[in-house]
A and B are shown apart, each in its own frame.
Chain A
Amino acid sequence: MMGIQRDRVRFNVGGRTFETTSTTLANAGRNSFFGALFDGNWNLQPMNSNSDLFIDRNPDCFAVLLDLLRTGELYIPPTVPEKLLCREAQFYGVLDHVRAAKWGQFDGNRLRLSRSITGPAPGDGTAIRAGPNGGCCVAHGSMVHVYDWMMEEHPPINLDYQRVNDAGWIDSESLVISACERLGTGDGGMGLFSSSTGELRYKFQVSHDNQIKSYTAGALTFSSDYKIFSSCKGRSNEYGVGVWDQITGKQIDFFYESPGWSLGDADKLQWLNGYNCLLVATLFPRKDNCYISLLDFREKNMVWSWSDIGAPITFDEKRVRDAIAMEGSNSICVVNEYEDLGFMDLRSAAGSVRWSSRSRLMNGKMSDEPCYPKLALHDGQLFSSMSDCISVFSGPDWVLTSRLRRGQGGSICDFSIGGDRLFALHSEENVFDIWETPPTSVL
């Protein structure tokens, strides 16, 4: 675009002179301060004369960001606070570059503890959910605390100060939380919130026989075709799984639970795109037995189901504590309180758990304050939390390949993967850890 001579650019940023090339600045992309500055629309006077381009901003941060644009690597000197740097990066519109330079693409076997955040809330955490952009939200009792990727806390969220059961990110700007109902008032249920301002944007309703009912919303999940699913318990018969449209907010479906089967109490919902079905798992000890089923909403039938009703109770009492469907291998992975992994084949109707003794990691020992194990699946890697560590299983045979552990904070009560980060919430202290894959170095 510009000749060799013209390529040199001189800036005066907050009194300090910087010299660089427009090629370096072009790395910032068109949708940045620099991209617009060099657009032909703007008649850049200083380019023709010999005077500098003045920018009324912090020179120290500019130096760091200029280096980032030159090398793609972020090096923050101790004298520059990270928060300040991020603010400046946001001014120039290169915050994405900073974020990309801070941590790399997620790989369960290369995770490194980045930092731990201690929250203000008292008591045990309920759930932690990773946002799409590296932020997260933590549910404690009746409050949900929201953090952006810089771990800046946003205004907290509550739904009528009712106990929160689950939370989920629709996009980086919107959160859904599900909460218990307060008898007789219509409080609680499920609401959509702005993650940046904490404002309630919409409250989802359940109607039964054309009447709006108050209800308790439990586990949440979203599908790629913009639906929200939640397990629901209502006043009268509204036990089951409700479905809402993310765009209109209207309730579009309801799967009523059948007698002898539990759906409204479900602990875990998971939408299976390939099957066009919803996995619903209600697990011990919420109910005396475990129920796992696959629901097809088009036909309103349960296309696959498993329950441990009538199964002989063994001496070590293997009860399923979490379940996750793995569409790639047409199976469901389950875990018990000893962190034994078990597998069920989705293709055979009469499912039975094939426990994998190979993965018996705890040798039957229980920690002092038990936390139920949780499962997560990401890019072909299976994650399982137990006590104060998270095990990573890789490959088609789910070999244990890594273990994430941090000394303090007690047992991990929940964890979540998203935005190329893993967040682990501890139960003893109100603290959560952020695990990241380090960016690949140029050296």
Chain B
Amino acid sequence: MSNPQKKRNFQIEAFKHKVVVDPKYADKTWKILEHAIHEIYNHNASGLSFEELYRNAYNMVLHKFGEKLYTGLVTTMTAHLKEISKSIEDAQGGLFLEELNRKWNDHNKALQMIRDILMYMDRTFIQSARKTPVHELGLILWRDNVIYSSKIRTRLLDTLLELVLRERTGEVINRGLMRNIIKMLMDLGSSVYQEEFEQPFLEVSAEFYKGESQKFIECCDCGEYLKKAERRLNEEMERVTHYLDAKSEAKITNVVEKEMIANHMLALVHMENSGLVNMLLDDKYEDLGRMYNLFRRVSSGLSTVRDVMTSHIREIGKQLVTDPERLKDPVEFVQRLLDEKDKYDKIISSAFNNDKTFQNALNSSFEYFINLNARSPEFISLFVDDKLRKGLKGVSEEDVEVILDKVMMLFRYLQEKDVFEKYYKQHLAKRLLSGKTVSDDAERSLIVKLKTECGYQFTSKLEGMFTDMKTSQDTMQGFYASHPELGEGPTLTVQVLTTGSWPTQPSVTCNLPAEMSALCEKFRSYYLGTHTGRRLSWQTNMGTADIKATFGKGQKHELNVSTYQMCVLMLFNNSDRLSYKEIEQATEIPASDLKRCLQSLACVKGKNVLRKEPMSKDIGEDDAFFVNDKFTSKFYKVKIGTVVAQKESEPEKQETRQRVEEDRKPQIEAAIVRIMKSRKVLDHNNIITEVTKQLQSRFLANPTEIKKRIESLIERDFLERDNVDRKLYRYLA
């Protein structure tokens, strides 16, 4: 007031501002609040009146001193935090984290109280002035003054990383404290957590696991390594749940996956003596399951496992189907295939989570190697034959189904399904005619399965065979009913087979004994009498006979033999000793069959109803045969088997092959015509592709053969070549 003249205007203005009476009002009020903040930080808040402080802060904002209040808060809080920072810096060694945690808790509590006092400012001034709210401000100031303090920042990170390392090496650390500190970083914002901890943590972890995996890979076998990797992975996940941000889980597991698995994938899979192949060989379900679960986590992990498995199965399978030892026993051969399939099915279901891609890989591998051996279709049919002949005795219906289903699975892999059909027909014919099929149901069940797999065409002939069998039964009943005088003497059972339905064999009818041929004639006239326009020819190579024989000392036996064997034995009713030549002349049995037949009568121990001179295993052209008077057997009924080559001999094989090829011709032609009829014009390559596709379900058509068929069709004017483009074919309606 020393110079009222100059200052008057200003003073008048100030007095007009009637809201604030005391010019020092704002400073005074702020002093009270500042003092309170000090007291709060000094744990001395018990003497403070909340109501008074709240009212003071309210009044400051109401009287437009919000800015002053706010800047005062920032200054005071910053000063306190600098002090706090100092005391944390001074903490010795292991006490550092504890001090930090304690101060953080103190600050949080203080911040809450300060915010309570300044609640009105938070609601009004801060909103309209777009300032940082008190709580957030408190966190930011803590971050800038404490966490970013140069003496704390790196020390904090180093301490945290060291604790993690110590835990990784097996020490017990204070997880609670760790959790609190990490929680603090997260509270300060996800970027603080990421920059101050997560990022370096991931880098250090990558380094750690890089080293550890290197160590492990050098000294552990594959199974052991995977166990360790799995344990590490679980430890890291556990660490996340105990004291890290849940969002870190994917990141840290990624690091472990990359360092411990992805980077060593090939080394692990191919590890000598313990890699994937060894696991597969030794059925190590647990290890395989672990490998699957770990490898699925990394990109191309599973495809690596799958590829190795595939090539291994292919290799094993190839050995199996091409090993000449194995080819000796078709049943064993197929059983081995089935065992192999079972083995891998089990591995895939128990270790590979029934993964579809693995199943597909397994199937394609089987398809690959089964077709490497051209005899697979024959062997599979032989396997079925074996099972349906005798193998299934005493086996329950469900088990039969299981075996048949497995066989069908192998059948699916076959490319030459028509070859299988050929053999199957042959084998089925033998089973039916010799009455050796064990279960009609099982037979029919398999035919139903084949039908669903390949369609009606495939099985119509097989079904025809069953019909023939049934009709023959009826025919025989009719025959005997119309010839009641035949009650005495030999009994004849005829099976009338429809040509075409049955595998045709070169039928060389042998000379039947007089008794039989008379009976046969009677049947012929009966049959032709009831069915006009038919022709009967006898398939003596396929029949069987039961004959009664009395030996030297009066031993009586019933012998179950083939028709050929019967013809031979009947000769001895009239002579004691016959030479090979005489027998051959009298019966006219083809030489190879006769030899086999004589072999089974004279050379099989315990079944040798004939003796021969000289005694030897093989039948010679000059051998002589006579009845074995000393023949004994503890059974009344004796079954004389024929020495049959179960597998086909080389020439037979050629023959079957030829027949298959022959049968394919019309099928290929039909396919070509079908395609051309709908397409009218098509070029050569496309015909080949489409024909192959159409016939895939039955066999793999040979392109040269298709070409030949096309030419044949052109000759027969079904198709013609285009005049301009010689590669194009046209359909001629």
Residues in chain A within 8 A of chain B (CB atoms): 31-33, 36-37, 39, 41-44, 53-56, 90-91, 93, 173, 194, 196-197
Q: Apart from A90-B124, A173-B127, A173-B128, what 11 extra A-B contacts exist at CB < 8 Å?
A: A36-B116, A36-B117, A36-B119, A39-B112, A39-B116, A54-B51, A55-B51, A56-B55, A91-B120, A196-B128, A197-B128
CB of B46 within 8 A of CB of A31, answer: no
Chain A at the B interface: SS class: loop
- Least CB distance from A364 to B in Å reads 51
Which residues of chain B have C-beta atoms less than 8 A from A55's C-beta?
A: 51
Q: Which of A41, A91, A93, A173 contacts B45 (CB 8 A)?
A: A41
The answer for the CA separation of A413 and B127 in the assembled complex, in Å, is 33
B96 part of interface (Cβ distance < 8 Å): no
Residue-by-residue, is B238-259 near A (CB-CB < 8 Å gives 1, otherwise 0)? Answer: 0000000000000000000000
27 contacts between A and B (CB under 8 A): A31-B119, A32-B119, A33-B54, A36-B50, A36-B54, A36-B116, A37-B51, A39-B113, A41-B109, A41-B116, A42-B45, A42-B50, A42-B116, A43-B46, A44-B50, A54-B51, A55-B51, A90-B120, A90-B123, A90-B124, A91-B58, A93-B119, A93-B120, A173-B127, A196-B127, A196-B128, A197-B128
Which residues of chain A have C-beta atoms less than 8 A from B54's C-beta?
A: 33, 36
- Least CB distance from B69 to A in Å reads 16
**4 smallest beta-carbon distances between A and B, as pairs:** A36-B116, A43-B46, A196-B128, A42-B50
Q: Chain B residue with minimal CB distance to A194? A: B128
Which residues of chain A have C-beta atoms less than 8 A from B45's C-beta?
A: 41-43
Which residues of chain B have C-beta atoms less than 8 A from A31's C-beta?
A: 119
Which residues of chain B have C-beta atoms less than 8 A from A91's C-beta?
A: 58, 120
Which residues of chain A have C-beta atoms less than 8 A from B50's C-beta?
A: 36-37, 42, 44
- Least CB distance from B126 to A in Å reads 11
Q: Chain B residue with minimal CB distance to A91? A: B58
Q: Chain B residue with minimal CB distance to A87? A: B62
Which residues of chain A have C-beta atoms less than 8 A from B128's C-beta?
A: 173, 194, 196-197
The answer for the CA separation of A31 and B123 in the assembled complex, in Å, is 10
CB of B116 within 8 A of CB of A56, answer: no
- Least CB distance from A92 to B in Å reads 9
Chain B at the A interface: SS class: helix
The answer for the CA separation of A175 and B249 in the assembled complex, in Å, is 43
Which residues of chain B have C-beta atoms less than 8 A from A54's C-beta?
A: 51
Query: CB within 8 Å of A: which of B106-125?
Result: 109, 112-113, 116-117, 119-120, 123-124
Which residues of chain B have C-beta atoms less than 8 A from A93's C-beta?
A: 119-120, 123
CB of B113 within 8 A of CB of A42, answer: yes
- Least CB distance from B41 to A in Å reads 13
Q: Chain A residue with minimal CB distance to B128? A: A196
The answer for the CA separation of A56 and B112 in the assembled complex, in Å, is 23
Q: Chain A residue with minimal CB distance to B55? A: A56
Q: Chain B residue with minimal CB distance to A93? A: B119
CB of A53 within 8 A of CB of B51, answer: yes
Which residues of chain B have C-beta atoms less than 8 A from A36's C-beta?
A: 50, 54, 116-117, 119
Which residues of chain B have C-beta atoms less than 8 A from A33's C-beta?
A: 54, 119
The answer for the CA separation of A197 and B125 in the assembled complex, in Å, is 11
- Least CB distance from A351 to B in Å reads 44
Known: A31-B119, A90-B124, A93-B119. A41 touches B51 (CB 8 A): no
- Least CB distance from B724 to A in Å reads 48
Which residues of chain B have C-beta atoms less than 8 A from A43's C-beta?
A: 45-46, 48
Which residues of chain A have C-beta atoms less than 8 A from B116's C-beta?
A: 36, 39, 41-42
The answer for the CA separation of A93 and B120 in the assembled complex, in Å, is 7
Which residues of chain A have C-beta atoms less than 8 A from B112's C-beta?
A: 39, 41
The answer for the CA separation of A90 and B54 in the assembled complex, in Å, is 13
The answer for the CA separation of A369 and B127 in the assembled complex, in Å, is 43
Which residues of chain B have C-beta atoms less than 8 A from A196's C-beta?
A: 127-128
Known: A55-B51, A173-B127, A173-B128. A41 touches B113 (CB 8 A): yes
Q: Chain B residue with minimal CB distance to A56? A: B55
Most interface-central of B45, B109, B128 (chain A CB within 10 A)? B128
- Least CB distance from B33 to A in Å reads 15
Query: CB within 8 Å of A: which of B86-118?
Result: 109, 112-113, 116-117
